């Protein structure tokens, strides 16, 4: 089985998703797959998150489904139980990182400063989420703060303010394996059943990475 990080690296884009209803899980998975994106981050910002991950994991195993917004141990446990392939969080919590490690669950905590990166590196993390990427300072800022950690081989997924227009600027950075954002699969499109628009946005993002 290919490791989640390899699938993420190959894809270059992680759609960050807040989905309200479990019944939309499979149509959403199909829309992403049809658009060429075999990756999703289902965030624990909605009550449906665990059910959505479980449905995608069971019915569309070809989609590499991650769990986002893991803010506490309960969400971590629910994500693992639902069959998520990996987890992410907007911030760094040593206890959550340790619990994920103990469970053998690939987990990327959020970082925004050199101190965050120091804590993540010390905890053994080799994949982190840079959040909120745009407001924090953009690609130049990430390049500067990640330079002292480059020899450790830490990979970064920037999210927050990433768009199709600035995607290439992020992917240029050596440390960046993929960039993520909500623009591909917007909650309003999912709720309205506008899956064709999600496929269109996914295709367009894939084409932007290939440019």
Report the alpha-carbon distance of residue 38 to residue 15 in Å, rounded.
10
Q: Which of 7, 13, 16, 67 binds ligand 3PG (CB under 6 A)?
A: 16
Report angle CA 2, 131, 161 to the nearest 5 degrees: 100
Whether residue 164 lies in the annotated active site: no
What six digits make up the tokens of 52? Answer: 């959505």
* Closest approach of ligand 3PG to the CB of residue 64, in Å: 16
Q: Is 109 in the site for ligand 3PG (CB under 6 A)?
A: no
Report the alpha-carbon distance of residue 132 to residue 44 in Å, rounded.
17
By C-beta, is 90 or 106 nearer to ligand 3PG? Answer: 90
Q: Are 162 and 170 in contact (CB under 8 A)?
A: yes
* Closest approach of ligand 3PG to the CB of residue 181, in Å: 3
Q: Is 159 in the site for ligand 3PG (CB under 6 A)?
A: yes
Q: Is 187 in the site for ligand 3PG (CB under 6 A)?
A: no
H or E element at residue 4: helix 4-11
DSSP label of 146 = H
Q: Which of 24, 48, 180, 205 binds ligand 3PG (CB under 6 A)?
A: 180
Q: Is 182 in the site for ligand 3PG (CB under 6 A)?
A: yes
**How many residues make contact with ligand 3PG (CB under 6 A)?**
12
- Of 34-93, binders to ligand 3PG (CB under 6 A) are 68, 90
Look-up of token digits 């990427």 = 133
Catalytic annotation, pick one of 6, 41, 58, 188: 41
Q: How far is CA 199 from CA 111, 174, 184, 190, 203, in A?
A: 30, 28, 8, 11, 6
Q: Which of 156, 160, 199, 205 binds ligand 3PG (CB under 6 A)?
A: 160
Report the alpha-carbon distance of residue 90 to residue 155 in Å, rounded.
15
As annotated, the active-site residues are 41, 129
List of residues contacting ligand 3PG (CB under 6 A): 16, 68, 90, 131, 159-162, 180-183
């Amino acid at each position: 089985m290919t490791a989640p990080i390899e699938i993420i690296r190959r894809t270059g884009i992680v759609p960050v998703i807040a989905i309200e209803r479990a019944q939309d899980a499979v149509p959403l998975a199909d829309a992403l797959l049809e658009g060429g994106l075999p990756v999703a981050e289902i965030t624990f910002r909605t009550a449906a998150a665990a059910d959505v991950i479980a449905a995608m994991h069971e019915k569309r195993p070809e989609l590499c489904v991650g769990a986002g917004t893991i803010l506490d141990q309960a969400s971590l446990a629910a994500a693992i139980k639902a069959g998520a392939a990996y987890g992410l969080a907007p911030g760094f919590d040593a206890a959550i990182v340790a619990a994920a490690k103990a469970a053998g669950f690939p987990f990327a905590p959020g970082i925004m400063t050199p101190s965050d990166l120091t804590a993540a590196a010390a905890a053994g993390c080799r994949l982190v989420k840079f959040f909120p990427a745009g407001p924090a300072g953009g690609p130049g800022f990430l390049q500067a703060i990640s330079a002292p950690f480059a020899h450790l081989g830490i990979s970064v997924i920037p999210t927050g303010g990433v768009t199709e227009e600035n995607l290439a600027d992020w992917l240029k950075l050596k440390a960046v394996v993929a960039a993520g954002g909500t623009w591909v699969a917007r909650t309003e499109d999912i709720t309205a059943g506008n899956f064709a628009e999600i496929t269109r946005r996914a295709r367009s993002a894939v084409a932007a990475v290939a440019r």
